[in-house]
């Protein structure tokens, strides 16, 4: 055991014995002391030794942006959304028609909710009461989960063909659903859980949708057209021409101040759209086959899952450059969501049937914690708090296919 100071005798021993002192790992024999001095020395030794136990007993802190837990979930997990109170993460399991509910305090699955076939995306209402899940199989529907009891309420809501993405307006009144196979967006009134109006035509094979923080616009990635459509939510019509981005755009997330939209592209890039002009201002190289994207609540960082690379890239929004090395996670990472306090990122690993929990800060209390650790091996640990789909400017919570 290492300590700054350790004594081998009690204060007040008479006659005083020579004491062994361990200082900075070097063993020395201290001179004998008697009387009041010996008592003062003994008390000091005990005090310092106690302090050393306190210091050396602390768990080592993990470096920022390292995996601190790996949580087993259902088959082929895709989308992920976190409740506004930070208590739970909801994960869609594409392969077994279910949603896993992770308690973020312990990073363990506490519930599994059956939904429709091939669930892809999930979004949670701003009040945290409901989770909306797109069922992209033959159902072509949206299931609504009441989060208090983790039960599906009502009948599935019919929408367009192959619904693969969902985003909820900041006031919680409407859910926007991207229908991949019929090039449209359906709008659900969350008060009645019915579709309102006709489907909104967008570009070719829409994959993702995100809504600006003021609720005025919905940005939709058109995977087949390599563009982004912008919907005016007041009229539910597309405004302006489609915005050209990279090849086969997947996901989109909007900064908390609403100034920029970040779009992942199959050509291993992220396009940055200035929402004031709806033009691309920057293109950022990232990892292989970028998929999901989420932005921290302070708008400082963007987290991008790289599917074929098995990693997560981190972009500094001040410079729009990738910082640090890619973070190793599981196999085929798809979805990503960031907790409302910005401390954790939850990443679904589609081929591992797991969720990796990344510590964004340097604090760490999970089972995988160690100084300088990284990667996603191991079992679930304890730590984490939470957020919701749409928090941190990100409302894309799933991607179609594998």
Evaluate whether 208 touches 165 at the Cβ level (below 8 Å): yes
Asked whether residue 38 carries a pLDDT value surpassing 80, the answer given is no
Give the C-alpha separation, 55 to 391, whole Å: 37
Higher per-residue confidence, 38 vs 312: 312
User: Which pLDDT band holds residue 63 (cuts at 50, 70, 90)?
Assistant: low
In the chain the domains, ranked by start, together with CATH numbers, are 1-58 (no CATH), 70-393 (2.130.10.10)
Mean pLDDT on 80-109: 97
Task: Determine how many CB atoms are found less than 10 A away from the CB of residue 58.
Answer: 7
Distances in Å between the Cα of 38 and the Cα atoms of 4, 5, 10, 48, 233 are 19, 15, 9, 15, 79
In the predicted model, what is the mean pLDDT of residues 196-207? 98
Stronger pLDDT, 53 or 96, i.e. the higher one: 96
Q: Strand pairing partners for 98?
A: 93, 114
Q: Determine the average pLDDT of the residues in 179-204.
A: 98
Give me the residues paired with residue 290 across strands. Answer: 306
Task: Tell me how far apart the alpha carbons of residues 198 and 120 are, in angstroms, rounded to a whole number.
Answer: 23
Q: For 336-374, write each residue's pLDDT tens digit.
A: 999 999 999 999 999 999 999 999 975 544 444 433 333
DSSP state of 149: T
Q: Which residues pair with residue 230 across a beta bridge?
A: 219
Q: What is the pLDDT of residue 362?
A: 54
Residue 27: predicted pLDDT: 34
**Pairing mode of beta strands 119-124, 130-135:** antiparallel
**Model confidence pLDDT, tens digit, residues 226-253:** 999 999 999 999 999 999 999 999 999 9
Residue 170: name the closest of 210, 131, 213 by CA.
213
pLDDT, tens digit, 9 for 90 and up, residues 253-308: 999 999 999 999 999 999 999 999 999 999 999 999 999 999 999 999 999 999 99
SS3 of 309-368: the string is: CCEEEEEECCCCEECCCCEECCCCEEEEEECCCCCEEEEEECCCCEEEEEECCCCCCCCC
Instruction: Give pLDDT, residue 193.
Output: 98
What's the per-residue H, E or C state across 37-72? Answer: HHHHHHHHHHHHHHHHHHHHCCCCCCCCCEEEEEEE
Which pair of structure tokens corresponds to residue 232? 């005016």
**Residues forming beta bridges with residue 208, ordered by sequence position:** 221
Q: What is the mean pLDDT of residues 67-91?
A: 98
Tokens representing residue 22 in the block: 């361990």
**The token pair that represents 9 in the structure block:** 């005798």
For residue 57, name the pLDDT band (cuts at 50, 70, 90).
very low
State how far the alpha carbon of 99 is from the alpha carbons of 74, 116, 188, 390, in Å: 8, 10, 21, 18
Rounded to an integer, what distance in angstroms lies between the CA atom of residue 169 and that of residue 266? 27
Element spanning 35, H or E: helix 35-56
Average pLDDT over residues 301-325: 97
The 10 Å CB-count burial string (b at 16+, else e) for 136-175 is beebbbbbbbebeebebeeebbebbebbbbbbbbeebbbb
pLDDT at 64: 80
Residue closest to 37 by CA, chosen among 45, 49, 29 = 45
pTM of the full predicted structure? 0.79
Return the SS3 of 392.
Answer: helix
Mean pLDDT of 131-138: 97
- Nearest CA among 45, 55, 54, 40 for reference residue 23: 45
Q: Using CA atoms, how far apart are residues 231 and 250, in angstroms rounded to an integer? A: 17
pLDDT at 121: 98
């Amino acid at each position: 055991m290492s300590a700054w100071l350790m004594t081998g005798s009690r204060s007040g021993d008479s006659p005083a014995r020579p004491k062994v002192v361990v200082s900075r790992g070097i063993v020395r024999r201290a001179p004998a002391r008697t009387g009041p001095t010996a008592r003062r020395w003994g008390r000091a030794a005990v005090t310092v030794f106690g302090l050393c136990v306190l210091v050396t007993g602390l768990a080592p802190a993990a470096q920022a942006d390292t995996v601190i837990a790996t949580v087993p979930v259902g088959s082929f997990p895709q989308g992920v959304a976190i409740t506004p109170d930070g208590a739970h993460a909801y994960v869609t399991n594409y392969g077994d028609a279910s949603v896993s509910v992770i308690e973020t305090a312990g990073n363990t699955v506490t519930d599994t909710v059956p939904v429709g076939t091939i669930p892809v995306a999930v979004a949670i209402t701003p009040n945290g009461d409901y989770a909306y899940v797109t069922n992209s199989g033959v159902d072509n529907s949206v299931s609504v989960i009441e989060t208090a009891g983790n039960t599906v309420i009502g009948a599935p809501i019919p929408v367009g063909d192959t619904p693969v993405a969902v985003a909820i307006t900041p006031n919680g009144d409407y859910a926007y659903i991207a229908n991949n196979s019929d090039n449209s967006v359906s709008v659900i009134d969350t008060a009645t859980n019915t579709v309102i109006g006709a489907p909104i035509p967008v570009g070719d094979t829409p994959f993702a949708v995100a809504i600006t923080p003021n609720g005025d616009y919905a940005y939709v990635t058109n995977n087949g057209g390599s563009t982004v459509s912008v919907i005016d939510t007041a009229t539910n019509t597309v405004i302006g021409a489609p915005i050209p981005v990279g090849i086969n755009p997947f996901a989109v997330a909007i900064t908390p101040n609403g100034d920029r939209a970040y779009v992942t592209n199959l050509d291993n890039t992220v396009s940055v759209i200035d929402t004031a002009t709806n033009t691309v201002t920057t293109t950022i190289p990232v990892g292989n086959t970028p998929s999901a994207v989420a932005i921290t609540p302070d708008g400082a960082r963007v987290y991008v899952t790289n599917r074929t690379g098995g990693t997560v890239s981190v972009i500094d929004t001040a410079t729009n450059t990738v910082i640090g090395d890619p973070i190793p996670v599981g196999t085929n990472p798809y979805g990503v969501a960031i907790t409302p306090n910005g401390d954790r990122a939850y990443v679904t690993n589609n081929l591992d049937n797991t969720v990796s929990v990344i510590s964004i800060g340097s604090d760490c209390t999970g089972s995988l914690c160690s100084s300088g650790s990284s990667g996603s091996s191991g079992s679930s640990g304890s730590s984490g708090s939470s957020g919701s789909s749409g928090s941190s400017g990100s409302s894309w919570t799933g991607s179609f296919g594998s």
